């Protein structure tokens, strides 16, 4: 068998480095699909355009889009995927010469690039972004798949401070089943951490389905403090019910779908000092059963100190306001506010209410003798701001 002529050999894919700093240039490998050994096919392949990727090496900068450019001809297909096979979505420009990713490159991630031109040429590249100096993580509330009350906001608490609030907020997408109007607001959680909540303009409608898509992977929260994953959650709004606490009549009334279910005699916080109850709207944060309540955890000492095991504990604020059973205060139910700030009632009534309420139900406290309203980050105190004030807390306003 005679050796094949050099003019009909297939030319291999070769990678060349561009003189331009920061750009990896790759020679497009082209297959000369010719019949009868026509040398013009091979010559044409050698003249095919080059493909360039804007990121290269092992310490590429994260946080920006990946671009793939073609010098001559048009891009047919571009794939940029990480080492787990997750692809960056992207689009080709109108003139077909540039592909740009719609998501940014994440830190500490290896990527492979595959590009194909409309003339059959293909090229490959790879790069890895620099590792983050620090990773920022989040805690989401409510939990995924839960059913909550009509006042439950969508809440994101960050492990580390967020300096690029506007950029982070741009990545947060809320979808509701009925087009509910709402807004993000940046606040400080009671422990001092940054928090952003999405609160509807008015209480949720029962049955509303809510989804969050937080596309944070590759976003710098500020100071080289990166998110390295996306987050998603969703929940459903349950029964429409409100607990109305009246400090004047000393009653706690459960109202469901606008109708009174039951009114319970209670005793709230002693007026005139730190033992007074919070007024305004607080949201049921958790149902904690029987817990040990100690006065020092909320700053009460001396003659105001206490240490009790408390049944049917329903948390309303981070600062320690609960609704719960308080049998030791039985003589005050319905006639005198004489607690250390909580809404106390008989064990039987507390057990009944505990079984009726759901996380996210609003407790609306009215009447005289309160110590004002809780801050937005003290539980879910944002309901004590009117809608226009809440909207000003968005970083995009």
In order along its 397 residues, the chain shows pLDDT tens digits of: 444 443 444 444 333 333 333 344 444 333 333 334 444 554 454 345 577 999 999 999 999 999 999 987 899 999 999 999 999 999 999 999 999 999 999 999 999 999 999 888 888 999 999 999 999 999 999 999 999 999 999 999 999 999 999 999 999 999 999 999 999 999 999 999 999 999 999 999 999 999 999 999 999 999 999 999 999 999 999 999 999 999 999 999 999 999 999 999 999 999 998 899 999 999 999 999 999 987 766 666 666 667 889 999 999 999 999 999 999 999 999 999 999 999 999 999 999 999 999 999 999 999 999 999 999 999 999 999 999 999 999 999 8
| Cα–Cα distance, 173 to 156 (Å, whole number) | 12
For domain 134-238, the CATH class is mainly beta
pLDDT at residue 304, rounded to an integer: 62
| Cα–Cα distance, 125 to 113 (Å, whole number) | 5
Tokens of 98: 């540039």
Beta carbons within 10 angstroms of residue 338's beta carbon: 18
Q: What separation in angstroms does the CA of 359 have from each of 151, 174, 238, 318?
A: 9, 20, 10, 14
Q: Which residue reads 């105001």 in tokens? A: 304
pLDDT at residue 391, rounded to an integer: 98
CA-closest candidate to residue 83, choices 53, 122, 54, 126: 126
Task: Tell me where in the chain the CATH 2.40.440.10 domain(s) lie.
Answer: 241-381
Task: Tell me where in the chain the CATH 2.60.40.3710 domain(s) lie.
Answer: 134-238
Torsion of CA 145, 149, 153, 154, to 10 degrees: 0
Radius of gyration of the chain (CA): 31
* Architecture of the domain delimited by 241-381: Beta Barrel (2.40)
Q: Which three-class secondary structure state does DSSP give residue 353? A: helix
Task: Tell me where in the chain the CATH 2.60.40.3780 domain(s) lie.
Answer: 10-128
pLDDT at residue 8, rounded to an integer: 40
| Cα–Cα distance, 336 to 75 (Å, whole number) | 78
What is the CATH number assigned to the segment(s) 10-128? 2.60.40.3780
């Amino acid at each position: 068998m005679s050796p094949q002529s050099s003019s009909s050999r297939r030319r291999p894919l070769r990678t060349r480095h561009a003189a331009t700093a920061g750009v990896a240039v790759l020679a497009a490998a082209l297959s000369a699909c010719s019949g009868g050994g026509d040398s013009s096919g091979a010559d044409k392949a050698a003249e095919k355009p080059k493909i360039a990727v804007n990121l290269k090496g092992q310490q590429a900068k994260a946080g920006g889009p990946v671009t793939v450019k073609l010098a001559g001809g048009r891009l047919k297909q571009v794939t940029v995927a990480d080492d787990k096979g997750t692809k960056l979505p992207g689009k080709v420009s109108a003139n077909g010469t540039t592909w740009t990713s719609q998501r940014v490159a994440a830190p500490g991630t290896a990527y492979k690039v595959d590009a194909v031109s409309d003339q059959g040429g293909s090229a490959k590249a790879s790069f890895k972004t620099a590792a983050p100096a620090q990773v920022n993580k989040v805690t989401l509330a409510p939990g995924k798949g839960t059913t909550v009350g009509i006042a439950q906001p969508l809440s994101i608490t960050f492990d580390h401070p967020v300096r690029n609030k506007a950029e982070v907020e741009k990545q947060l997408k809320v979808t509701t089943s009925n087009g509910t109007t709402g807004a993000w607001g940046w606040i400080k959680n009671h422990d001092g951490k940054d928090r952003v909540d999405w609160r509807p303009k008015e209480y949720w409608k029962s049955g509303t389905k809510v989804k969050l898509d937080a596309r944070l992977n590759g976003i710098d929260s500020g100071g080289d403090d990166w998110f390295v994953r996306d987050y998603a959650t969703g929940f459903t709004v349950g029964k429409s019910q409100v607990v109305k606490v009246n400090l004047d009549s000393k009653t706690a009334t459960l109202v469901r779908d606008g109708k009174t279910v039951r009114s319970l005699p209670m005793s709230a916080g002693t007026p005139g000092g730190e033992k007074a109850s919070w007024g305004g709207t607080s949201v049921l944060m958790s149902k904690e059963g029987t817990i040990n309540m100690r006065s020092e955890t909320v700053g009460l000492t001396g003659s105001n100190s206490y240490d009790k095991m408390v049944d049917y504990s329903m948390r309303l604020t981070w600062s320690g306001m609960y609704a719960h059973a308080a049998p030791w205060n039985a003589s005050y139910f319905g006639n005198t506010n004489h607690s250390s700030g909580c809404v106390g009632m008989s064990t039987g009534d507390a057990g009944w209410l505990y079984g009726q309420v759901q996380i996210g139900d609003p407790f609306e406290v009215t009447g005289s003798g309160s110590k004002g309203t809780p801050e937005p980050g003290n539980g879910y105190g944002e309901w004590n701001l009117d809608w226009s004030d809440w909207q000003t807390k968005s970083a995009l306003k």
